[in-house]
Amino acid sequence: MNIRFKELEQIGQSVWLDNISRDLLNNKELERLIEEVGLKGVTSNPTIFQKAIGSGSAYDGQIGHLLSINPSLSADELFEELAVSDIQRAADVLFPVYEKTDGVDGFVSIEVSPILAYNTEGTIKAARRLNKKVNRPNVMIKIPATQEGLPAIKQMISEGVCINVTLIFSQQVYEQVVEAYIAGLEERNKKNGRLNNVLSVASFFISRIDTYVDKELDIAGDATLKGKIAVANAKLVYEKSEEIFNSDRFIKLKDRGARIQRLLWASTSTKNPSYPETIYIDELVGKDTINTMPSATIEAFKTKGKVYNAIEDKVDEARKQMKTLKELKIDFSEITKKLTVDGVESFAISFHDLISTIENKKKIGYAR
């Protein structure tokens, strides 16, 4: 196992892969990553599936087989069958990790349709259906942290469904997400439901924040904070997480077997080529966290990564940086709201492109 990834594991941070594809499963790449870097999970989203299904012919055989059984299947239905197959296979590969970590890691995430991001009831129905269809103990259903998504998160947790809450950008929304998680556990506890098998992660997005804030800093004519706000924001969120999960309220649930909702650092590839390739790994190392890395970032971290308990370092400096941002009249709250809206829209566009890709495969004869 690579020494840097071994050090991450020793500190208490898990590495998940921000990618899934049929080729990754067929060529045993997932097994290799488990062996080489101690990979402990996999996440997916509409953009990832759009790239996977849209490139090459790895899915064409299954599309043809499904249509030979039921020619009336829609592109949406075909996509769900393709995605569920990949998720099930990945979950089976990661199941030994799930067992070895006592159900803390070894998860694979699949997202409800982004078209439902502002539809509470639709999200609940889709989450139930996907969870039942995948039928694996180590699957997490991804639900975005929109205001409409929050009640769905609470409901699913109360029903014992493992949830990956996605598209979190601000501390305010993070606190709402944790409230939904804890309230869902409390509701489940009232019904004497098991708590120790209900796992959840809060996917907090990183690099997109710097991409947006850096532009605002350019407009403000101040470059001193460029490339720093995303990490500063994450450090303060981690501090809040520590406070919440050490509170008397959560300790009562913990005594009944409840697990903390770990922070998962998402969008950790470096978008600005002038920043170090591993900046959003190096600066976010911390106990009881997850970092989802794309393959290129994993490779870069093997040789260039720096490992120390960075997330709890220079927290006061992070606070000052956020204060300075406010003094520059840059409204961080509005930025994070826009990033959430843009994130949902981006996933929706990817989903529509994905459905169009599957429709085209049917039309031009890939499925015959």
Distance CA 313, CA 140 (A): 31
The torsion angle over the Cα atoms of residues 38, 80, 142 and 103, rounded to 10 degrees, is -40
Using an 8 Å Cβ cutoff, are 277 and 270 in contact?
yes
Residue 53, number of CB atoms within 10 A of its CB: 25
Distance CA 7, CA 9 (A): 5
What distance separates the 2 farthest-apart alpha carbons in the chain?
63
Type and span of the H or E element at 305: none
Tokens of 228: 């720093």
Tell me the DSSP string of 77-108: HHHHHHHHHHHHHHHHHHHHHHHHTTTSS-EE
Cα separations in angstroms, 33 against 2, 77, 138, 278 = 10, 31, 18, 18
Distance CA 168, CA 339 (A): 9
CA 90 to chain centre: 16
CA angle, 153 then 159 then 161, to 5° = 65
Tokens of 204: 């907090």
Kindly list the catalytic residues: 142
- Which DSSP symbol is given to 288? T
CA angle, 11 then 14 then 16, to 5° = 155
